[in-house]
Amino acid sequence: MQFLIQWSWLIPMYGLVGALLALPWAARIIRQTGPRPAMYINVLMTAIASLHGLLLLQVIWNTGPQQVSFEWLDVAGLTLRPSLDLSAVNLIFLELTAGLSLLAQIYAMGYLEKDWALARFFALMGFFEGAISGVILSSSLFTSYFLLEMLTLSTYLIVGFWYAQPLVVTAARDAFLTKRVGDILLFMGLVALSTYAGSLNYDDLAVWVKGAEITPLAATLTSLALIAGPTGKCAQFPLHLWLDEAMEGPSPASILRNSVVVTCGAYVLIKLQPVIILSPFALDALIAIGVTTAIGGSFVALAQIDLKRAFSYSTSAYIGLVFIAVGTACPGVALMLLFTHAVAKALMFMSAGAIIYSSNNQDLTELGGIWSRMPATTIAFVTGALGLVGLLPFGCFWSFCLGIEFLWDEHPLLVGVFLLVNFLTALNLVRVFRLVFLGQPQMKTRRTPEVGWLMAVPMVSLSIIVLLVPVMMWRLSMLPPTEYFNLAAVTLLVGSGILGVGLGFYLPLNRAWSRSSLAPLRRLQDLLGNDFYTGKLYEATVVRLVSALSAASNWTDRYVVDGAVNLVGAASLLSGEGLKYSASGRSQSYILTIVVGVGLLIAMTTWKMW
């Protein structure tokens, strides 16, 4: 047991080692074997990390939480000791991320089997996995920030994997820059917090908060800065546009981005929740961000005609509910939401990737009649949809029900937000199901065979896991006793899900419905389809302001700074040219000039003494 604990630092290293070992194939130094060895190496490393984490979870479950630290740097009084927090909750989420990463990599073996950059993709996946594992196990905000920066870089590289496509380049750039906004603000909060608390260890921060001597203004500004980082990572308003654009990347990466990456960012927010409590305004800001994103994302998803984007906005909406749970001091609800959402959403994106792989198309208006041709994909989609909606007895039902129960008395309006998101999600999933799987086959779906076993096995395996999520939650003691559940809350939750499903099947759907002939409906569709014109709003405000400041800075640099420098140079040149004519070559004249100058200097410096 001690061996597993002392060597637990290897868990984040497995993915990084896999990425390094894959570099010779990714850089095409080794060509004779093809790129497949890099793929096998990273899948093996992920499997080892998952096994190591599972064994460590069994040990910690019996012995209790422990911390493992080691000295990294000790120079001139500066000591850096990274440490890992080996608690049951951390290891459960580590197994969640490692397991989903393993299934996504096996899925990618089939999805990208003919891609010439296969080795580069798996090297990036290893880098990606190592950063995520480190963030989850880290016991320090400093280490978490360093690893979150690695996560931002890996997101940029994976989104831009197909860099020959202009839209991919734009999506990667926007994802990187949007996350950088949150990361910079998070770094400011980190520096401020280290000054006030004297430590960035999460346990030390929890102790410091109990007797913290900090002004309300400082607490508010620091807490808002700490919120900004997870807001960018979790694609929350107003830093939410990158997740939609990131769907231009490969589907295996989209699986992890919508299930693991957002979970990772929200997990850091949950760890920081004891500090954010210092500022009631920051808690209200968390709730406002969560409500705006949850409701707005759910409505926007209804108007999307791109298969993956219809699900990506749903991801932002569900993480918005996590922000609400953290803002109302319900971290247990937040953890349950993250767990149940991650598993179900990963399965949804696996089924979406299978459809795209077989049909080479992801436009909902050009799909249809797939259910008879792709039965495994159909079952995976239905299973994921059931796990994502609050329908008894599937996973999200328990997390939704627990959240509503906590908010029932003090925050009834937030209960309505949970019910509305559940209703709109069910409506959207049924809409997508009808457009993709039901109806007559379209031109691009008449020949859509079921995917191969490398993609089917992860889908079937994850479908079984989604169905077993309630059992897993019960075995892990994540579910409260049934007598604690409010019958009225359960009825409303189940009713909202059934209403969404029923309305989704009842409403008439036309494949031309994506662009209605009725002007009011068309304007509403344009409003939702363009994400409330948030992108254009940013272009008219933030982008224009930055462009104006850049133009002003350029003018100042060119005409003021460069002008002053050029003026000094011109003055020196002219004075030198003028003085050369006064050079007579007589030493006595030079000596007289020096004596007069020194005398004047002495007279000026001693003037006050006289």
Q: pLDDT (tens digit, 9 = 90+) per residue, 369-389?
A: 888 888 888 999 999 999 999
Both tokens of residue 172?
Answer: 């990667």
What confidence score (pLDDT) does residue 610 get?
54
Which residue is associated with the tokens 């770094």?
A: 187
Query: Which amino acid type is present at position 524?
Result: L
Q: What average pLDDT values come out for the chain (610 residues) when binned by 10 residues? A: 80 89 86 85 91 88 81 68 83 90 91 86 88 88 88 87 84 85 89 85 86 85 90 86 82 87 88 89 91 90 86 90 90 89 91 88 84 87 90 86 87 90 91 86 78 89 90 80 78 89 80 59 76 79 85 85 82 72 66 80 70
What confidence score (pLDDT) does residue 350 get?
92
CB atoms within 10 A of CB 402: 22
Both tokens of residue 244?
Answer: 């939609």
Query: Which DSSP state fits 223?
Result: H
**Contact by Cβ (8 Å): 457, 385:** no
What confidence score (pLDDT) does residue 504 get?
84
Q: Which residues pair with 69 in a beta bridge?
A: 83
**Contact by Cβ (8 Å): 19, 124:** yes
What confidence score (pLDDT) does residue 240 get?
81
Q: How far is 35 from 22, CA to CA, in rounded Å?
A: 9
Q: How far is 129 from 262, CA to CA, in rounded Å?
A: 13
Q: What size, in residues, is the chain?
A: 610
**Structural Rg of the chain based on CA atoms:** 30
Neighbouring residues of 26: CB distance < 8 A, sequence distance ≥ 6: 35, 38, 117, 119, 120, 122, 123
Q: How far is 119 from 66, CA to CA, in rounded Å?
A: 37
Q: How far is 162 from 235, CA to CA, in rounded Å?
A: 22
pTM: 0.87
Both tokens of residue 310?
Answer: 């219809």
Q: How far is 49 from 569, CA to CA, in rounded Å?
A: 64
**Contact by Cβ (8 Å): 251, 111:** yes
Both tokens of residue 578?
Answer: 């003028």
Q: Which residues pair with 201 in a beta bridge?
A: 140
Outline where 198-248 has alpha helix (H): 202-210, 216-233, 241-245
Both tokens of residue 517?
Answer: 């002939």
